[in-house]
Structure 1
């Protein structure tokens, strides 16, 4: 009986096994095959690196590096307490925060994204079950604050949120691609030689017209003006007349896009593009040009300036000095509001406003930047005689710095308007180019206005902008700011626009200082900043007279202030201060640090192996930097420092 029972049990077990095998092999093979594929194969979304942002000489302003992020698969974690405590010690966060995430019961949770290389190495060394490192891409701005407001910044997912990063997000963003990978029983990815996606995914690079060296000393000069006069904000633009290229787009205070979250939205704001100001007397040259073009005046036409006080329809217009009879040339030179207002009234609102529109005021600049202001230029039907008089000397309407720069570019270009250019590999649409490249003034009119502006610097309000041995045309501006309660208050915007040389200009420099406290005249606040920028730009190009060379670097340096947010500045030569003229010893340094050093030299090295630290480098430390095609830069990586 016992034998029969055992035999029957074995027979039943044997039949069950054969039945199960029959079911697996014959009845449900396709469904089970699909389930096996789902368990052992998975699709992964891979996004390419974001494209670089370069200056006109291919110096790297923004680049992307591989950065580790840490995540957890909660169902694999054996001891949430141990994992949370160890990760918290490495990442510097609260263990309760990590433990709460682990206990949520999800299959995947981020603990911290884009951690530093040493933290990633420490986590890997712990070997915690269920804790993984994922390679992502992180945006790096190697020159820190240089051009920060213009460049903008990206979010945690590498999407542009402001500035050039936002305006060209589609161009810069790498494309995405899905591909299938194998996993083992624990869900870990199996890396197979040659199985990686080979489709090029990297985003396109953007080359700006900005010159990093010009940008640096423009920022330095503006920062000094803001500090010296306790101003709210300062901005400067340098424009090449021949090409229309914007060489500098400087603002102060500045911000570091590497740590953009530590700044307020107002500090991150690109006010050159997004804020419009009443430009004051810097508008007067366009009134003069329009009056000359319409034969209302000649340079020697006499205008009575009413001894500095004049009433127009119960509105009092004042000059800073008691001026009487002046030629039109001297009206501009001494910046007489009364004389300019009288010329504006003779010209008429219709003709004057038409010239302003043709110069680009009241419309957004064609520069490829999001969030630009169009300024304020009221409809003609709303202009009274008082409005016309105010507009003649730059009040009653507002403009952005790019609009003002493009208008002055028309004067410098012989009366022909041409568009500004900020991005080298971006061209305006053909119809926009045609609209922007139109003749506004005759060559004779432009030449006469430039001569008037030269007299402003040599004998008028712009004397503080004069450079010995250099002919400069310029115009000061001091605009009283409108009050929120109506009318004008006690705050001012100081400005200066200079063209060098005065006749046949090669470059234009605009400086605007908003709400200076200690002095508000453009001749005292903005003109010296222009002079500093112009001298250093001419020295850079070898056109500064020898008599001024010795004075250049004896000028007052920007007031010292405590660096914030890990600030490190870019030197005039465009090279990182840490490395000088030779390659530093990068062995043992993090790969991120090494890539920043190379990026500042405009070099992208070849990377061999894997890891977070540099084990070996070529060329060796001490070799001279050389960006030529013959020199190859290689970094070999290791997991240990």
Structure 2
């Protein structure tokens, strides 16, 4: 007996002491709070709060049916839906019946006094601005992990690091002491600061929705960029979704089509080729082209204009959006120069906006161009661009020829506002895509495009807008030509012309052709309202004097 005691004390003492320690001590995780997502002015777009939920321990419920009926009565649910779930969870010790109940409901649950039925608090991600920039912001899973958009992309910054505390319990396993040596505080997540301004974003989304609805269209996208820095002030998709209830919407709503969906741009692409022709001196301002009365056969196909033009100057080719005139410019440039300038303008590669899922667009290698490419590309066919690519590239005409890198995430900051990581793209020194004299000519032409618009579709009374419309046919899925009466109507613009501070782009997909489908009809008025609101909000001075007699007569030339 004595030997046995010596054995226990000597050889098993350490093991038994460790076992006792485990029974007396417990490590309790301290959950880190997820960081905020903030707009450019510090407004909260995404935050973590606490919500109350009701749970059951199915293994100890005295009567599953009574529990189901009690919960159903308090929460106004159907007990026939709750009871089967409780029975199916019979082998579990913790089953969530409903998340997000009111405090009054929680009090009633607790007052019911049913053993195995209770409430608990849990972190909950909320989006106080609801649908605002939803496809860009994304959402989190029920356990708080980012699974879409910036919530997913910046999850490692936002989630923080959990801590731990060690408690010591008595014989009844009741906690009575917090052990100092086992304590590690949680580090809450960092905050993500965006370039998006909620005020501008709200206006963009409102105008985009109105434009899509006005023409019974399928969908629309919009983006607003500061042309000198690349900061994205707004990017919108319609229809959108509410990330507070993301499971109520189809997954197609989650896609950020501003960066993921390339399309054939049509006439909004023409300024880039026209500027290339000027830069290469294959055309000079004022030069006149024979536009063949609206139909021109080149090789094995015929190009057509929307109006039977005879002779147009270089400037008029853009103002009236002549496909034939652009095709002839393409022949003068040749494939190699066309490809060179298209890539200089950033097409065929990601913009570097810093968001997941960005498409590089569609640009075939030069060796795969065919006999039609020389005349197709200048009028915005045989190439696929994303809305972000088009808007970014148009900034070239607004900032002295620089191809900027757009960005949406400005900085990662801690709770005190100290910058942990600056996300602003570094400035790079590069040659302007086009020389200054070419940019001056192009901006004047693009001002004329707007000033000749029907009923002032894109004109503003105190700020000179410059831009280009587009009415692009939608290619068939089998690659054989284009769908009938199916279009993407678009408009891209900069303002004010004297010292551009904003570039905006809108594309509306599949407007009802019986109502209207030209870019000047469908998209230009949306851009006009976006710019009007943004200029007033940002207090950007005007560059033209008020003139009650400014021309607003209807011209079919703006129809494209």
Decide which of 462, 472, 482 is 1:488's aligned counterpart: 482
**Worse-superposed segment, 470-479 or 234-243:** 234-243
Say whether the 8 Å CA contact 1:415–1:445 is kept in structure 2: no
Decide which of 96, 119, 138 is 2:83's aligned counterpart: 96
1:313 positional shift: 2.2
Say whether the 8 Å CA contact 1:215–1:250 is kept in structure 2: yes
- Cα distance per residue 1:321-377 (max 9 Å; x no partner): 111111111100110010011101111111111111121111112112111111100
Q: Give the length in aligned residue pairs.
A: 529
Matched with 1:375 is 361
1:308 and 2:294 equivalent?
yes
Decide which of 439, 447, 450 is 1:446's aligned counterpart: 439
Matched with 2:45 is 61
1:293 positional shift: 0.9
Say whether the 8 Å CA contact 1:215–1:247 is kept in structure 2: yes
Say whether the 8 Å CA contact 1:303–1:325 is kept in structure 2: yes
Say whether the 8 Å CA contact 1:333–1:461 is kept in structure 2: no
Decide which of 130, 142, 149 is 1:144's aligned counterpart: 130
Matched with 1:45 is 29
For 1:492 and 1:263, locate their aligned partners in 2 and report how far apart those are by CA, in whole Å: 26
For 1:189 and 1:87, locate their aligned partners in 2 and report how far apart those are by CA, in whole Å: 30
Judged with a 3 Å threshold, the aligned counterparts in structure 2 of structure 1 residues 110 and 76 are, in CA distance, closer, same or farther, namely same
Q: What pairs up with 1:134-173 in 2 under 5 angstroms?
A: 134-173=120-159
- Cα distance per residue 1:8-45 (max 9 Å; x no partner): xxxxxxx9xx9999998788554443333333322233
Judged with a 3 Å threshold, the aligned counterparts in structure 2 of structure 1 residues 80 and 41 are, in CA distance, closer, same or farther, namely farther
For 1:227 and 1:531, locate their aligned partners in 2 and report how far apart those are by CA, in whole Å: 17
1:276 positional shift: 1.0
Judged with a 3 Å threshold, the aligned counterparts in structure 2 of structure 1 residues 102 and 454 are, in CA distance, closer, same or farther, namely closer
1:427 and 2:418 equivalent?
no
- Specify the SS of the correspondent of 1:480: strand
- Specify the SS of the correspondent of 1:235: strand
- Specify the SS of the correspondent of 1:481: strand
Judged with a 3 Å threshold, the aligned counterparts in structure 2 of structure 1 residues 98 and 469 are, in CA distance, closer, same or farther, namely closer
1:479 and 2:472 equivalent?
yes
Say whether the 8 Å CA contact 2:403–2:433 is kept in structure 1: yes
- Specify the SS of the correspondent of 1:533: helix
Matched with 1:290 is 276
For 2:357 and 2:393, locate their aligned partners in 1 and report how far apart those are by CA, in whole Å: 20
- Cα distance per residue 1:589-628 (max 9 Å; x no partner): xxxxxxxxxxxxxxxxxxxxxxxxxxxxxxxxxxxxxxxx
**Worse-superposed segment, 136-145 or 34-43:** 34-43
Unaligned runs of 5+ in 1: 1-14, 550-641
For 1:359 and 1:455, locate their aligned partners in 2 and report how far apart those are by CA, in whole Å: 23
Matched with 1:206 is 192
Matched with 2:414 is none
1:519 and 2:512 equivalent?
no
For 2:365 and 2:71, locate their aligned partners in 1 and report how far apart those are by CA, in whole Å: 63
For 2:182 and 2:107, locate their aligned partners in 1 and report how far apart those are by CA, in whole Å: 24
Q: What pairs up with 1:205-244 in 2 under 5 angstroms?
A: 205-244=191-230
Say whether the 8 Å CA contact 2:263–2:385 is kept in structure 1: yes
Say whether the 8 Å CA contact 1:300–1:329 is kept in structure 2: yes
1:64 positional shift: 0.5
For 1:165 and 1:47, locate their aligned partners in 2 and report how far apart those are by CA, in whole Å: 18
- Specify the SS of the correspondent of 2:457: helix
For 2:495 and 2:155, locate their aligned partners in 1 and report how far apart those are by CA, in whole Å: 36
1:501 and 2:501 equivalent?
no
Matched with 1:635 is none
For 1:198 and 1:26, locate their aligned partners in 2 and report how far apart those are by CA, in whole Å: 34
Say whether the 8 Å CA contact 1:335–1:461 is kept in structure 2: no
1:256 and 2:250 equivalent?
no
Say whether the 8 Å CA contact 2:166–2:183 is kept in structure 1: no
For 2:245 and 2:175, locate their aligned partners in 1 and report how far apart those are by CA, in whole Å: 33
Say whether the 8 Å CA contact 1:234–1:514 is kept in structure 2: yes
For 2:118 and 2:169, locate their aligned partners in 1 and report how far apart those are by CA, in whole Å: 15
**Structure 1 length normalisation: TM-score?**
0.76
**Worse-superposed segment, 185-194 or 201-210:** 185-194
For 1:470 and 1:429, locate their aligned partners in 2 and report how far apart those are by CA, in whole Å: 30
For 1:131 and 1:455, locate their aligned partners in 2 and report how far apart those are by CA, in whole Å: 72
For 1:45 and 1:516, locate their aligned partners in 2 and report how far apart those are by CA, in whole Å: 54
Say whether the 8 Å CA contact 2:53–2:98 is kept in structure 1: yes
Say whether the 8 Å CA contact 2:221–2:508 is kept in structure 1: yes
Judged with a 3 Å threshold, the aligned counterparts in structure 2 of structure 1 residues 191 and 245 are, in CA distance, closer, same or farther, namely farther
For 2:135 and 2:312, locate their aligned partners in 1 and report how far apart those are by CA, in whole Å: 43
Matched with 1:399 is 385
Say whether the 8 Å CA contact 1:40–1:182 is kept in structure 2: yes
Q: Considering only aligned residues, what root-mean-square deviation do their CA atoms show, in Å?
A: 2.9
Say whether the 8 Å CA contact 2:164–2:182 is kept in structure 1: no
1:529 positional shift: 0.5
- Specify the SS of the correspondent of 1:365: coil
**Worse-superposed segment, 122-131 or 370-379:** 122-131
Matched with 2:334 is 348
Q: What pairs up with 1:124-139 in 2 under 5 angstroms?
A: 124-139=110-125
1:416 positional shift: 1.6
**Structure 2 length normalisation: TM-score?**
0.87
For 1:188 and 1:111, locate their aligned partners in 2 and report how far apart those are by CA, in whole Å: 27
For 2:345 and 2:409, locate their aligned partners in 1 and report how far apart those are by CA, in whole Å: 21
Unaligned runs of 5+ in 2: 412-421, 549-560
For 1:32 and 1:85, locate their aligned partners in 2 and report how far apart those are by CA, in whole Å: 47
Judged with a 3 Å threshold, the aligned counterparts in structure 2 of structure 1 residues 370 and 186 are, in CA distance, closer, same or farther, namely farther
Matched with 1:598 is none
- Specify the SS of the correspondent of 2:307: coil
Judged with a 3 Å threshold, the aligned counterparts in structure 2 of structure 1 residues 180 and 89 are, in CA distance, closer, same or farther, namely farther
- Cα distance per residue 1:301-330 (max 9 Å; x no partner): 211111111122222211111111111111
Judged with a 3 Å threshold, the aligned counterparts in structure 2 of structure 1 residues 508 and 198 are, in CA distance, closer, same or farther, namely same
Matched with 2:255 is 269
Matched with 1:567 is none
1:467 positional shift: 1.8
For 2:46 and 2:447, locate their aligned partners in 1 and report how far apart those are by CA, in whole Å: 40
1:200 positional shift: 4.0
